[in-house]
Structure 1
Amino acid sequence: MTNLFSRRSVLGAGGAVAGAAALGSLGLNQAAAASGTSRLWQSEKVRYDSRYRLVYAADAEGNRIPDFSYAGYKYGDSPIPHVRTATTVRPVAGDNTAHLQAAIDEVGARTPDRNGFRGAVLLAPGNYPVAGTLRVNRSGVVLRGSGDGADPAKHTIIQATGNTPVSRDVVVLGGSVSTGWRGEVPGTRTDITSDWVQVGAKSFEVADASGLKRGDNIILIHPCTEAWLASVDYGGTAKDAGWVVDSQPITYNRHIKSIRGNTVTVDVPLFEHLRRARSQSYLYVWDRAGLVTDVGVENLRIDIQFAGDPDVDEAHAWVGVKVRQVEDAWVRDSTFLHFAKAGVETTEATRVTVRNCKALDPASVVTGGLRYNFNSEAFSQQILFVDCYATKARHAFISNGASSASGIVFLRGTSEGALASSEGHRRWSQGLLWDNHRDIAPKVDLVLGIYNRGDYGTGHGWATSHSVGWNCDVGTARLVVQKPPTAQNYAIGGKGVITGDGPFPNPAGFIEGANRPGLFPPSLYQAQYLDRHR
């Protein structure tokens, strides 16, 4: 099926348009013949109609699979750019932190070109001991190595040394602090007056649109009220105390595409129902204070130095690359080793692509809060992890961002030797997609969780809603999918033990086509992307 769903369709719009045209000229039978498969089948929840457009079926509660295709750098609509090299640096003896930071700051002080880029800092091959944190904190700057292999004669190896400050990040891509998108432009707040905004919708009514305009960056808040908490069983936290009022506001970062009267249309669908009777949602224009845009890390290796037993020692750097306070950023073609928490971690980040990266061999105690190899924390939205590889993870591909994290896609991710499950981790994250995820030789039975975590952690409860496992291969292990109150989760076309029987008894989510080959389209994200560009 590569003629219909090539990797080009993930990485640039040109491939997407060509793929859509190819699909439009084929029926399902012809596509089956072209693929050499005689028994292709489509999901009842999302399928092609007679015009070769995707259509979505809702259940009696109005639950439907949302469109995940807006994830990634520039919504996935522009290829990750090759930014010109502005300066080349080579390693020096001893700690290279100040040496590298000076080069990054020098490029950051340059005037951006017409595309907003200041230039790339190219690290020549070699070993670069770094005892501090490197900060790519000016828009339009790229930190680029000469390859992510293990040979310093050919590749760039940042050797993170020491533990000062404790549990540090080696590279921070973006701003210096997290604001939680709280910077409200005065006079722009208005209530959402639609009685019900369905999951997957992009338009809704507001009380007064006079303070808004096309292109505004808005923050939409669904407050965590008593009525909403009651509707979701106070989080379903088993023996732990239930969630409390104001603890889990649902938050979306969006841009206004159009305004007609008091009807506002935004750029990306919502990943949860907004029911006015349970919570009065509102929005405001965000001031974007401190936001960094169009930055990247690429083609390098971060090897965090540690001493002793890799299952004990965690007195070293914890995160390879922290992507924070950014819009439109990327991490690609890089390898991260011996972190305690994550190879790549996003927080307060929107429209980020993490592509062709490896997060290998964590060094830490095997316990809670550690070994989240590819991790999206709070205020992470429209994040695309594609063709990434994790080893010895507790949670290889995870959202730990609770109710402010949504629209996160893990496409063709591979986890080897998992020590716990990839999953939505806690407190009502929304709209997560594991698409063609694969587990190899896991050390545990449950390797992909779209479910309730009950009293795990600190009242994790319902970990995610409106989330999907599509065409995933968990081998002989288990994928657990359960239905939250007021919402749904889905496992479609999976290979392995696909079940609703999780660690905390709850209704099974929607399960379809388990261990049935021939799911069409084979990738939900790519099919949605192609459909959006037709």
Structure 2
Amino acid sequence: MRHEPAGNQHTRRDLFRTGGALLAAAAAAPLLPATAVARTRPVAAGPAGPAAGWQSDVVHYGSGGKLVYVADRNGNRIPDFSFAGYRNGEAPLPEIPAVRTIGPVSGDNTAHIQAALNEVGQLEPDENGFRGAVLLRPGTYRVSGTIRVNRTGVVLRGSGESVDPAIGTIIRATGSSKQTYVIEVGGQTDEWTTEVPGTRTDVTSDFVQVGSRTFTVADTSQLSVGDNLIINHPCTQKWLNAIDGGGTGDKPSWGVGERPIIYNRYIRDIQGKEVTVCAPVFNHLDRSLAQSSVYVWDNTGLVHDVGIESLRVDIQASGAEDENHAQSGIRLRRVEDAWVRDVTVLHFSFAGIDTRAATRITVRDVRASHPRSRIAGGRRYNFNAGALAQQVLFQGLWASHARHAFVANGTSRTSGCVWQDGYNDSGYSESGGHHRWSQGLLLDNIKELNSNSGRGHVIALHCRGGQGTGHGWSSVHSVAWNCTVDNGKHVAVQRPPTAQNYAIGTTGKANANGWTKQPAGHIEGTNRGGLEPSSLYKAQLSERLT
């Protein structure tokens, strides 16, 4: 039933049907245990070595050296975030050889670079599905339009991100605000709605717990291992009632049908009517509140296995609040298994890195800083997980002067995203989910320092109430792990109806004081050094792959 993009059918089907030892082991692994009541456990040694300090009540190493996840009485538990990133974290970022090398030309280089990418995009893919890389020699490339990496298996690589054009590759964006993106990776639309006829079937499990990968469906006869499965939890009146209308306060509640929860997954196993998918769900699928269903997506227009590497995007702006320039540096859209690494993006107004309809993406060792815009809404989302961004790993990050540096901005269709090992200097507002039930977000070793924010919180997993156009609950089933805030600021963590949020091991204050008055989430170990594991994402990934 799987419809593969042209040119790479064999490789990608093999990944999900048979795969290597890591994929097979991950597919066969049992779901992680959870107990009904949280309790304190003795410190035990984990895979990273002897534990030094303390462990959380809700996720910790058990006596056998494996992570134990403890659920509360409502079934809420911390999920496994390690499925974020390129190929679910189960393969390293590839090293693709250059097959075309160019240098800068005088004037506008948009068509010059695009021609090289188009040329490589016409090559036959190799046995691993890659066509090759376009290598940009050191120098300054003035670009007034958008460069599009829109063919599977193509990489755009510079010679380094140095500010010195003698040794680095500088993409100098010279356009007006009509130059929305300097580099766009992937396809052209944001939806996953084109289903393979006859494949839709209902989820029959009464309750699929957050963090689960297995559930039953009414009919598996039209499903196969390797199928690209879309899971749809509709936005019903019963569900809206259960979540207090979205928590919008004096603004109108969210309407029926407005906020469906959608997951993009692949089938790893089918046993009878039981289906196991490649990554967990990040919200309960409660049949008493909404009848969820699944269908196979036909992958129309999907681009995959593409990357941007080792360059500098410098957007030309005339002043600190100038907005007549390119809005964003790099967007990844309608794309999966893609990456951005060793890149600097400067002087954007909207986003440094923007992801939309993007799954299993790695953004690693990237700087997105010094935006140029007014300090106002709809601006300065340095590392943005937008609509339908799922399982995106942002890792090794440096940001500055953001309004929302590390942010999920895509509502109930955005989930499973991780910001790990990141620093934001001199920000103006909070990191975290921004609005409308973003789920399964992990902020892991994030530092928000020297904040300019007039609010008390600079990391927030909370309810924004009537902010914006009725943002309501911004984040659910989300975690701030071993994060640091300074300058008298705090992490705001609140408990959503039917869900939970967590702040564990925060340096600096952590409390329930957000935009609205709500119950506190799970707050533990504030200003207590020595949290083990020190990185939740790395511990989860290490355990799953071993």
Give the structure-2-normalised TM-score. Answer: 0.90
- Between the aligned partners of 1:48 and 1:173, the Cα distance in structure 2 is 39
| Structure 2 residues not aligned, in runs of 5+ | 1-21, 27-41
Contact 1:433 1:467 in 2 (8 A): yes
Which residue of the other structure, out of 367, 372, 387, is the alignment partner of 1:378?
387
**Equivalent of 1:336 in 311, 330, 345:** 345
- Aligned mates of 1:182, 1:330 — CA distance in 2: 24
Counterpart contact for 1:167–1:315, Cα < 8 Å: no
How do 1:3-82 residues align onto structure 2 when only pairs under 5 Å count? 28=43, 40-82=53-95
- Displacement of 1:268 after TM fit? 0.4
Match of 2:195 among 168, 184, 189: 184
Would you say 1:463 and 2:478 are equivalent positions? no
Q: In the alignment, which residue of structure 1 is the partner of 2:311?
A: 300
Residue 490 of structure 2: aligned partner: 478
Q: What secondary structure is seen at the aligned counterpart in 2 of 1:228?
A: helix
* Structure 2 contact 44–62 (Cα < 8 Å) conserved: no
Equivalent-residue separation in structure 1 for 2:156 and 2:145 (angstroms): 16
- Partner residue of 2:123 out of 88, 110, 124: 110
Mapped partners of 1:273, 1:30: distance in 2: 31
How is 1:303-318 mapped onto 2 (pairs within 5 angstroms)? 303-307=314-318, 309-311=319-321, 313-318=322-327
Shift of 1:163: 1.4
User: Which runs of at least 4 in structure 1 moved beyond 2 Å after TM superposition?
Assistant: 27-35
Of the three residues 131, 152, 166, the one matched with 2:144 is: 131
CA distance in 2, matches of 1:415, 1:245: 37
User: How much has 1:389 moved relative to structure 2?
Assistant: 0.5
* Distance verdict in 2 for CA 1:132–1:404, change over 3 Å: same
Match of 1:208 among 219, 223, 226: 219
Partner residue in 1 for 2:182: 170
Contact 1:32 1:40 (8 Å CA) reproduced: no
* CA shift in 2, pair 1:30/1:200, >3 Å: closer
1:34/1:281 CA distance change after superposition, 3 Å: closer
Task: State the secondary structure of the residue aligned to 1:406.
Answer: coil
The answer as to whether partners of 2:145 and 2:179 remain within 8 angstroms in 1 is no
Provide the identity percentage. Answer: 53
CA displacement 1:105-142 (0-9 Å, x = unmatched):
00000000111110000000011000000000000000
CA distance in 1, matches of 2:205, 2:386: 30
Q: Secondary structure at the match of 1:88?
A: strand
Counterpart of 2:543? 531
1:326 and 2:335 aligned: yes
Which sections of structure 1, spanning at least 5 residues, go unmatched?
1-12, 18-26
Give the distance between the partners of 2:432 and 2:377, measured in 1 at CA.
14
Name 1:23's counterpart in structure 2: none
1:122 aligns with 2:135: yes
Aligned residue type for 2:411? A
Q: Residue by residue, what CA displacement relative to the aligned partner does 1:433-468 show, whole Å, maximum 9, x if unpaired? A: 000111221112321010001111110000111000
Map of 1:360 onto structure 2: 369
**Residues 455 and 160 of structure 1, relative CA distance in 2, 3 Å threshold:** same
Could you say what secondary structure the match of 1:468 adopts? strand
Number of matched residues? Answer: 506
- Does residue 242 of structure 2 align to residue 238 of structure 1? no
**Mapped contact 2:45–2:61 kept (Cα < 8 A):** no
CA distance in 2, matches of 1:33, 1:108: 42
Change (3 A) 1:235 1:106: same
How is 1:325-474 mapped onto 2 (pairs within 5 angstroms)? 325-444=334-453, 445-474=456-485
Residue 286 (structure 2) aligned to one of 275, 282, 306: 275
Deviations 1:395-416 (A, max 9, x none): 0000001000000000001100
3-state secondary structure, aligned to 2:245: helix
3-state SS of 1:529 partner:
helix
2:208 alignment partner in structure 1: 197
More moved, 392-401 vs 434-443: 434-443
Q: Which amino acid aligns with 1:398?
A: V
Q: Secondary structure at the match of 1:414?
A: strand
- Checking the alignment, whether the CA contact within 8 Å between 2:181 and 2:331 is kept in structure 1 is yes
Matched residue of 1:334: which SS? Answer: strand
Tell me, yes or no, if the aligned pair for 2:457 and 2:513 is still in contact at 8 Å. no
Q: Deviations over 1:242-268 (max 9, x none)?
A: 100000000000111111111111110
Q: Distance in 2 between matches of 1:47 and 1:310?
A: 46
Aligned residue among 141, 162, 166 for 2:154: 141
Question: How much does 1:177 deviate?
Answer: 2.4
Contact 2:144 2:179 in 1 (8 A): no
Contact between 1:240 and 1:459, CA under 8 Å: does it hold in 2? Answer: yes
In the TM superposition, residue 45 of structure 1 has moved relative to its aligned partner by 0.3
Deviation, structure 1 residue 32: 13
Q: Secondary structure at the match of 2:305?
A: strand
Q: Is the Cα–Cα contact under 8 Å of residues 220 and 281 in structure 1 kept in the other structure? A: yes
Determine which of 160, 169, 177 is the counterpart of 1:156: 169
Question: Structure 2: how far apart are the matches of 1:68 and 1:378?
Answer: 19
Q: Is the 8 A contact 1:238 1:461 kept in 2?
A: yes
1:223 equivalent to 2:213? Answer no
What is the alpha-carbon root mean square deviation over aligned residues? 1.8
Q: Could you list the per-position Cα deviations for residues 478-509 of structure 1 after superposition, in whole angstroms to 9, with x for gaps in the alignment?
A: 10000000000000011101011112000000
Are residue 264 (structure 1) and residue 275 (structure 2) matched?
A: yes
Q: In the alignment, is the contact (CA less than 8 A) between 1:471 and 1:523 conserved in 2? A: yes
Of 112, 125, 145, the match for 1:99 = 112
